[in-house]
Structure 1
Amino acid sequence: MDTADEAIVELLKRDGRLAHREIARLSGLPRSAVATRMHRLLSSGEVAIRGVVHPAVSGRGSLAYVGLSVDGCAVPVASRIAERDDVSFVSLPTGHHDVVTELRAESALAIDTAVGELRAIPGVRAIDTVPYVEVIRDVVGPTGVLHHTVDATDLMLLRALQENGRASYVELAGLVALSPAGVRRRVVRLVEGQVIRIGALVRQSGRDHQVAMGLGIRLAGDHRDVTEALLGMPAVSFLARTLGRFDLLTTLRSFTPGQLTEALEAVRSLPGVHGVESWSHLRFVKESYASTHLATSLATHLPSNLPSNLGG
C-alpha cells in the first residue's frame, strides 16, 4: 500500500459503506482513482469490508484474551484453535506466549469451559487468561450496551452484511423481499443503533507492510484519563479494560514500524501508565469477528422491555 491507499483504508475503517464520491472528497483523490484503488484492494484480499454485529446479538457478551505456551511448533496448535466458532482471532506473537487468541462466549462459565478445552489440546503447556471487564473500542464491531432487539428480517440483513459490508441496497432487498428504500432504512437504524458496525479489515499479507502490536498496560490510578487518551490515538484499533495481569489491553496497528514505535512511546509516556508489556503479532492465523449464531432470538439475551425491533 502507498499513502493514497492508506488514506482510503483509514476512511473505510470508520465507515465501510462510504461512497466513492465521498471518499474522493475526504481524501482529495480523483473519484476514478478511488474506484480503481478500492477495486484493487478489495479484489486482492488485502482489505475486506465486513459488518461486525454486537456480541449480544449472538449472546456472546463474555470475552477473554488467552495466551498459550506451547511445546514444539505453535502453528498446529494455532490452526486447531482457529477452527473454534467461539474464537474471534488467533495470532502467532513474539514475547511471553507462543499463541494468543480471543474467546467470545455467552458467559464467564462458558469462557472457563473453553479455556479447559484449550488446555487439553496436545502441545499446550500453560495458559494465561485475561478476562475483559469492558470493550471500549473493538477492531470493527460496536461496543457498549445494546438498546435494540432485531427481528428475522434484520437477522438476514446482518448475515449478508457480515459477508459483504458493501452489498448494495438493491442486492440486500433481493434477500429480504423489501424495497431498496425499506432496506436502507433498516440498515441505517441497525448502524445507528450500534447493532452492527461496518468497516475495513486489513489483512497482514506481507505485501502491505502493516504491523500490529499488542499491549498489556498497568495503571497507577483510575483508568479514565488513560483510556480517553488512548481513544485519541489513530493507531489504537482495540481497547479493553481487563482483570488480572493488566488493567488495559490494547492493539496498535500501523503501516510502518516507525509509526508503531512512535505510538508505543506515546502510550508509555501517558500520565497514569505504570507499566507496559508489548508483543508483536507476527502472523494472524484467524481474524474473523462475524458471528454464526445470528439465528438466536435476542429475547433470550436482552430485557423484554426493550423495543421489539428497529422498524421497517
Structure 2
Amino acid sequence: MGSRDAVDDVDAAIIRVLVESPRCSYSDLAERVGVSAGTAQVRVKRLRQSRCVTIAGRVDPAVLGYGVFAFVFVEASRSALEAARLLSRRPEAAFVVTVGGSAGLIAELRCRDWRHLMEVVGDTRRELRSAHTRLAILESYYKHDWSTFHSGAATANTHNERPAYLVDDIDIDILKILASDGRATYADIARQAAVSPGTARQRVKHLQQTGAVTVQTVVASGLLGLAGYAAVGITVTGPAETIARQIAQQAPVALAATVLGAFDVVAEIGYRDFHDLGGTLDTLRCIPGVTQIESFPYLTELKESMGSWPMDRHTTESPITQQPALNPHQPAP
C-alpha cells in the first residue's frame, strides 16, 4: 500500500485533482497540475498500479434490486479471521473486516428484502456458530465520503429519497465496466458494451446524474497519514437523525448513518494514531444526546466491494430508503 514517501509534489497534486474529478481527461488533469498530458498519463498509471489510488465506480445496489442493508457484528466461537474468511465468500457480504473490541468481525450485508436478510443472518449464525450476533439495519446515510481526509474538510451528504432507476442490459454492462475501471474511456466502454462512443457517453452521464453509479478516487490510507479506521456504534436519546447530522460534521468521520437494532447510529472514523482515535471518540461522547459508544478498530480487511457483487437485477419485496453502496476504504492488500 502507498505511503507518503512513495509520492512527490506532482503526484500529490494529481491525486487532489483525481479526488475532485475522477474521470477528468488527461489534458484537463495536465493543465490543472502544470505538466504535459503524457506525464499526467504516466503518473496516473503508476499511482494506480502501486495502489496509491483506486478509481472505480461505486454502483448503487438499489439499481439491482438490493433494498435492505445491514451491519452484522459477530463474536465467533472460532477464530475471527477464519470466520471472516468464511463470511466473505457470501455474495451478500460486501465488506468484511476483523476488528478489536467486543466483536470479532463486522460485515456489511446487502440483501434484496427483509426475508432475504433474515435468511442470510440465519445462515451466518449457523455457519459461523457465533456466540453472539448483533444486527444494525441501515436506515439513512448522513455522510458517506472518504475524500475528506485528503482535503481536510468536513462535509455531510444525505441520501433519504429512493430514486426510480430504469436500467437495461446495456446499462448493466456499463456499470460492470465502471465498477472495474472508473476511468475507462468512452471508446473502451463502447467497445466492451457493443455500442457507439456517443451512446456510451450519453449512458454514462445519465447513470452518474441519477446516482446509479458514482465514480470515486480512493486514496491509500498511508498517503493520508492514517494508521487505520474504526467503526463506532452509538446509542442516543432523542432523535437519532439530529445526532447523526452532528456526527457527520466531524472531519475524522467518513461515514455516519442511522440504523435500527443494536445501535442508533453507526459511524466510521479514520485515525492517525490511538491518541487521535481516543480524542475523536471523546468528541463524539460530548455530543448532547449520545449515551454510549462502542469502538471497533479495524484489524484485517477481508473483502471490499464497490460494485463487484453479482450484477443481477432482483425485484425487491419491501425496500427501505435508498442507500448507495457502502464503503470504499483503501483496497484490500
TM range, normalised to the smaller chain?
Answer: 0.7 to 0.9
In structure 2, do the counterparts of structure 1 residues 72 and 232 end up closer, same or farther at CA, with 3 Å as the change threshold?
Answer: same
Aligned with residue 57 of structure 1, among 60, 63, 66? 63
C-alpha distance in 2 between matches for 1:42 and 1:156 = 23
Residue 173 of structure 1 pairs with residue 190 of structure 2: yes
Supply the AA of the counterpart residue of 1:166. Answer: R
SS across alignment from 1:115: helix
Question: Hey, what's the Cα distance between the residues in 2 that align with 1:61 and 1:126?
Answer: 25
Give, as a single letter, the amino acid of the residue that structure 1 aligns with 2:86.
R
Between 1:280-289 and 1:264-273, the stretch displaced more is 264-273
RMSD (Å) for aligned C-alpha atoms: 3.3
**Residue in structure 1 matched with residue 90 of structure 2 by the alignment:** 84
Contact 2:253 2:270 in 1 (8 A): yes
Shift of 1:34: 5.8
Inter-partner Cα distance in structure 2 for 1:226 and 1:21: 43
Return closer, same or farther for 1:263/1:41 CA change in 2, 3 Å cut-off.
Answer: farther
**Separation in 1 of the partners of 2:49 and 2:225?**
14
User: Which structure 2 residue ranges, 5 or more long, are not aligned?
Assistant: 147-157, 318-333
Structure 2 CA distance for aligned equivalents of residues 258 and 202 of structure 1 = 23
**1:258 shift after superposition:** 5.8
Aligned pair 1:121/2:127, yes or no?
A: yes
State whether residues 58 and 293 of structure 1, in contact with CA within 8 Å, keep that contact through their aligned partners in structure 2: no
Equivalent in 79, 95, 100 of residue 73 of structure 1: 79
Query: Who is 1:197 aligned against?
Result: 214
Q: Report what 2:140 is aligned to.
A: 134
CA shift digits 1:124-182 (9 cap, x unpaired): 32211111222344468x94412231122111111110111111111011123333233
Q: How many aligned positions are there?
A: 299
CA contact (8 A) 1:211 1:257 kept: no
The 10-residue stretch of structure 1 (93-102 or 238-247) with the greater mean CA deviation from structure 2: 238-247
Paired residue type of 1:236: V
Task: State yes or no: 1:269 paired with 2:286.
Answer: yes
Deviation, 1:230, is: 3.1
Deviation at 1:295, TM superposition (A): 3.8
Matched, 1:245 2:245: no
Structure 2 distance, partners of 1:52, 1:218, is 29
Segments of 5+ residues of structure 1 without an aligned counterpart are 303-312
CA distance in 2, matches of 1:224, 1:243: 12
Q: Which of 142-151 and 66-75 deviates more?
A: 142-151
Question: What SS is found at the alignment partner of 1:121?
Answer: helix
Contact 1:119 1:127 (8 Å CA) reproduced: yes
**1:230 maps to 2:236:** no
Paired with 1:256 and 1:30, the residues of 2 have a C-alpha distance of 34
1:148 is paired with a residue whose SS is coil
C-alpha distance in structure 1 between counterparts of 2:115 and 2:218, whole Å: 30
Q: What is the rounded CA distance, in whole Å, between the counterparts of 1:183 and 1:132 in structure 2?
A: 33
Query: 2:114 — aligned with what?
Result: 108
1:197–1:258 Cα change, 3 Å:
farther
Measured after TM superposition, the shift of residue 82 of structure 1 is: 0.5
Mapped partners of 1:124, 1:13: distance in 2: 39
TM-score between the two structures when normalised by the length of structure 1? 0.82
**Deviation sequence 1:16-50 (CA, Å, 0-9, x none):** 32345656777xx5446765553333102343212
Identity %, equivalent residues: 25
1:306 maps to none
How many angstroms apart in 2 are the aligned matches of 1:263 and 1:31? 39
Paired residues for 1:214-225 under 5 Å: 214-225=231-242
* Alpha-carbon distance in 1 for matches of 2:203, 2:119: 37
1:35-50 matched pairs, under 5 angstroms: 35=41, 37-50=43-56
1:150 aligns with 2:167: yes
Equivalent residue for 2:150?
none
Contact 2:66 2:316 in 1 (8 A): no
